[in-house]
């Protein structure tokens, strides 16, 4: 890297740290007010405050519909750890790319904005993964997944919920419950050996949703483009490689649908934040997609 690029990288790094420090400054003033309170309630309040301030910083630093490739690379490779001795406060923030494989909600044609190619990609990926890992009841597993995607999953068919279930699988925890249910129903331990997050993304989808063409997983590329995983692992570098260039370099003739894959890194990330409060560590996580944050989950004490 030349000196100019090193200077730019350093400047961006300093901007990140300065931005995150603004979170700490606000948090310290509030911490002094609640540190005498006992228990988890105060920790949850503190977590909510941190979440709001962190997402506010992300919106300023990763504005929607902008090319933030270099800044994204930094936050993915350099988790932030900050502490302050006087109040014994500490904070850790780490983020990773969010849509690195096909959104599993594309299994529902109604959620693909009438783009049949998106549905076919999700359908083919699921079929190939179940074959590859020798799932014993593939039709039953697909049925359970589709019920959840379509918002028609009910434990008791005689029970009519007051609130209509939303469509889509929007988190890994939601998908994990499906896998646990399938294993319990059909006694198939192989289902838990599948690295599902390497083949699917679990996010809310819209007609604008695309897969991150810069941070694709090797496993998904192998299935989607019918390439031996050894070849992908040998030459694909997440965050560095380009999908079109990768296919060309490996003499693979396959179209790259611009409606499915982005040509630049997406402003879509999953972040986990941990913080020390009253000598205990707490964590929460959330998604940030094009200026919007969601799927907040408070995980409690570590």
pLDDT at position 157: 45
Put the strands of the sheet holding 292-301 in their side by side order. 80-84, 89-97, 268-277, 280-289, 292-301
pLDDT at position 19: 60
pLDDT at position 269: 96
* 113 shares a domain with 80: no
pLDDT at position 196: 98
pLDDT at position 247: 93
* 223 shares a domain with 274: no
Separation of alpha carbons 91 and 232, rounded Å: 36
* 81 shares a domain with 22: yes
Highest mean pLDDT among 5-14, 24-33, 71-80: 71-80
Residue 91: band (very low, low, confident or very high) from pLDDT cuts 50, 70, 90:
confident
Separation of alpha carbons 77 and 94, rounded Å: 9
pLDDT at position 43: 75
* 77 shares a domain with 9: yes
Residue 192: band (very low, low, confident or very high) from pLDDT cuts 50, 70, 90:
very high
- Supply the pTM of this predicted model: 0.84
**Which two three-digit tokens encode residue 197?**
């997050």
* 240 shares a domain with 274: no
Separation of alpha carbons 167 and 146, rounded Å: 10
* 14 shares a domain with 45: yes
pLDDT at position 298: 87
* 271 shares a domain with 245: no
* Across 100-109, 157-166, 229-238, least confident range: 157-166
pLDDT at position 76: 93
| Dihedral-angle region of residue 221 (phi above 0 means left; psi in -120 to 50 means alpha; beta otherwise) | alpha
| Dihedral-angle region of residue 173 (phi above 0 means left; psi in -120 to 50 means alpha; beta otherwise) | alpha
Residue 212: band (very low, low, confident or very high) from pLDDT cuts 50, 70, 90:
very high
* Across 25-29, 85-89, 207-211, 233-237, least confident range: 25-29
Give mean pLDDT, residues 7-25: 59
* Across 59-63, 176-180, 205-209, least confident range: 59-63
The answer to whether the beta carbons of residues 179 and 191 sit under 8 Å apart is: yes
Q: What separation in angstroms does the CA of 82 have from each of 31, 74, 258, 277?
A: 15, 16, 40, 14
pLDDT at position 217: 97
* 128 shares a domain with 189: yes
241 lies in which domain range? 210-265
Q: Which of 157, 178, 202 is the last residue of a domain?
A: 202
Compute the chain's Rg from CA coordinates: 21
Separation of alpha carbons 13 and 19, rounded Å: 10
Give mean pLDDT, residues 197-204: 97
Tell me the per-residue pLDDT of 228-279, one tens digit each, with 9 for 90 and over: 999 999 999 999 998 999 999 888 888 899 999 999 999 999 999 998 877 7
* 192 shares a domain with 160: yes
Q: Which of 202, 224, 250 is the last residue of a domain?
A: 202
- Is the pLDDT at 156 greater than 70, yes or no? no
Residue 85: band (very low, low, confident or very high) from pLDDT cuts 50, 70, 90:
low
Domain count along the chain: 3
* 108 shares a domain with 120: yes
* 215 shares a domain with 124: no
* 35 shares a domain with 13: yes
Virtual torsion, Cα 171, 177, 179, 181, nearest 10 deg: -160
Residue 25: band (very low, low, confident or very high) from pLDDT cuts 50, 70, 90:
low
Q: Who contacts 275 (Cβ-Cβ below 8 Å, separation ≥6)?
A: 46, 47, 50, 89, 90, 91, 92, 281, 282, 283
pLDDT at position 159: 46
Residue 10: band (very low, low, confident or very high) from pLDDT cuts 50, 70, 90:
low
Q: Mean pLDDT for the chain?
A: 84
């Amino acid at each position: 890297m030349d000196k100019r690029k090193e200077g730019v990288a350093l400047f961006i790094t300093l901007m990140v740290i300065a931005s995150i420090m603004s979170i700490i400054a606000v948090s310290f003033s509030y911490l002094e007010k609640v540190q005498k309170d006992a228990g988890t309630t105060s920790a949850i309040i503190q977590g909510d405050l941190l979440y709001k301030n962190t997402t506010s910083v992300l919106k300023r630093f990763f504005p929607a519909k902008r090319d933030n490739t270099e800044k994204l690379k930094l936050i993915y490779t350099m988790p932030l750890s900050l502490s302050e001795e006087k109040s014994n406060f500490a904070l850790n923030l780490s983020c990773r790319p969010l849509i690195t494989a096909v959104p599993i909600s594309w299994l529902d044609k109604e959620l693909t904005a009438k783009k049949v190619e998106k549905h076919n990609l999700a359908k083919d990926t699921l079929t190939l993964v179940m074959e590859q890992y020798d799932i014993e009841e593939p039709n039953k597993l697909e049925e359970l997944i589709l019920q959840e995607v379509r918002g028609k999953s009910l434990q008791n068919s005689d029970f009519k919920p007051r609130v209509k279930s939303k469509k889509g699988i929007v988190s890994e925890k939601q998908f994990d419950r499906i896998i646990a249910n399938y294993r319990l129903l059909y006694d198939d331990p192989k289902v838990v050996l599948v690295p599902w997050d390497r083949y699917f993304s679990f996010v809310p989808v819209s007609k604008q949703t695309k897969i991150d063409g810069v941070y694709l997983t090797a496993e998904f590329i192998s299935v989607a483009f019918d390439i031996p995983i050894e070849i992908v692992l040998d030459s694909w570098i997440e965050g560095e490689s380009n999908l079109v260039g990768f296919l060309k370099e490996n003499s693979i003739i396959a179209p790259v649908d611009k409606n499915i894959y982005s040509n630049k890194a997406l402003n879509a990330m999953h972040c986990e934040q941990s913080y020390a409060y009253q000598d205990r560590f707490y964590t929460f996580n959330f998604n940030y997609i094009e200026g919007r944050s969601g799927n907040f989950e408070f995980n409690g004490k570590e």
